Amino acid sequence: MKRIAESTIRRLSLYLRFLEEFEARGLATISSDELAARGGTTSAQVRKDLSFFGSFGKRGLGYSVPELASRLRKILGLEREWRVIIIGAGKIGAALAQYHGFAERGFRITAIYDNDPLKIGRNVDGLTIRALECLPTDRESAEADIAVIAVPARAAQSTADMVVEAGIHAIMSFAPRRLAVPEDVTVKMVNMAMELEGLSFALTNRESA
């Protein structure tokens, strides 16, 4: 299978959300044009994105909403539950642990770690913060699919090493730096401050302003 662009996956994820809305409203079919309008893209883009995975539509008619939704869930791997551990119980880590939106989409948080003795043992939304040094031997981390790294930037690489050692193959990192990992480990960097800086740039460089 050819390598799929990250932007394609991001869009598939978005299409799925629109389909879920349509599903809830009981609509039977949808055209690439309607999907595109909601996603802010073009119908050709929608069809091209889908074409990497097969042909799911009917010419002249469009796509069956429930069928396409189901196919996308399968493609994105959302038919199962994923177990997520959070490392770092600071502002970001704690906020994520308390945010229930992920569980609703099949990402269950199973443990949260920190290395601050003042935090260890405390409770965050039903989860007890554990000592980071327990990570290598914990059942939860051994069974986890995804690790969220929410530690200070300088500790990010050593944390990533630990996570890789524990056999986890997917990392979502909030630290603004590249993490060196084996190539069978996928890293996604997330950083809201950087997004805000993108807006700051846009505001600063507007025509008028």
Give me the least distance between CB of 175 and its own copies, in Å please. 10
Select the binding partner of residue 55 from DNA, its own copies, none (C-beta < 5 to 8 A, by kind): DNA
- Report the alpha-carbon distance of residue 195 to residue 172 in Å, rounded: 16
Task: Note whether 64 binds DNA by CB under 7 A.
Answer: no
Residues 171 and 161: beta-carbon distance below 8 Å: no
Select the binding partner of residue 56 from DNA, its own copies, none (C-beta < 5 to 8 A, by kind): DNA
The smaller minimum CB distance to its own copies, of residues 59 and 206, is found at: 206
Which residue in the set 5, 27, 76, 142 belongs to the binding site for its own copies (CB under 8 A)? Answer: 76
Q: Is the dihedral of CA 61, 65, 69, 70 positive or negative?
A: negative
Give me the least distance between CB of 115 and its own copies, in Å please. 19
Residues 129 and 121: beta-carbon distance below 8 Å: yes
- Report the alpha-carbon distance of residue 36 to residue 44 in Å, rounded: 8
Q: In this chain, which stretch among 59-67, 87-95, 116-124, 127-135 interacts with its own copies, using CB under 8 A?
A: 87-95
Task: Note whether 200 binds DNA by CB under 7 A.
Answer: no
Task: Note whether 198 binds its own copies by CB under 8 A.
Answer: yes
Please choose, from the candidates 41, 106, 84, 49, the residue with its C-alpha nearest in 3D space to the C-alpha of residue 170: 84
Q: Would you tell me which residues interact with its own copies (CB under 8 A)?
A: 1, 4, 6, 9-10, 12-14, 16-18, 21, 38-40, 75-78, 82, 84, 91-92, 95-96, 98-102, 105-107, 145-146, 153, 169-172, 176-178, 184, 186, 188, 190, 192-208
Q: Would you tell me which residues interact with DNA (CB under 7 A)?
A: 3, 5-8, 31-33, 41-45, 47-48, 50-51, 55-63
